Each structure stands twice: as structure tokens, then as C-alpha cells.
Amino acid sequence: MRPFVLNFVLPAVSPEVTVPYTYDPALQLNVLPDGRPAVDDQAVLLATGTTTSTAGSKTHFDD
């Protein structure tokens, strides 16, 4: 059963998202199409935003 509130909270159609970088497992970095690390492009950083994690600080005293 679908909760009633989800009829109003979720968009009817998921938006199409285009990410300007890909993950390179060899470098363990997100890279741009020209091969530069994504962190070198300020416009990409401003457009994609940031996230933070508190998992480490809750499990390790030295984070």
C-alpha cells in the first residue's frame, strides 16, 4: 500500500539528470570529459553542490 502523502511529495515524473563527470576507479576520482579531476572546475563544484557525512565523527573520536 502506498502512503497517501507520497501522492503529493514525489514528482509525477523523475527529472532527467545529467552529470558533467564520471568516476574513474583507477584514480578514485570524479573526472571531467577532458580527463581533469572534477574538483579542478569551480563551475562544476558550484552546480553540483556538496554533501557531508557525520558517520565517521560518530564512530571515531579522531575524525
pTM of the predicted model, to two decimals? 0.51
d(CA 21, CA 37): 9
Ordered by start, the domain boundaries in the chain are 15-49
Cα–Cα dist 14/6, whole Å: 14
What is the model's pLDDT at position 3? 77
Q: What is the DSSP string of 7-57?
A: HHHS-SSPPP---S-EEETTTTEEE-TTS-BGGG-HHHHHHH------HHH
pLDDT tens-digit series, residues 30-46: 999 999 998 898 888 88
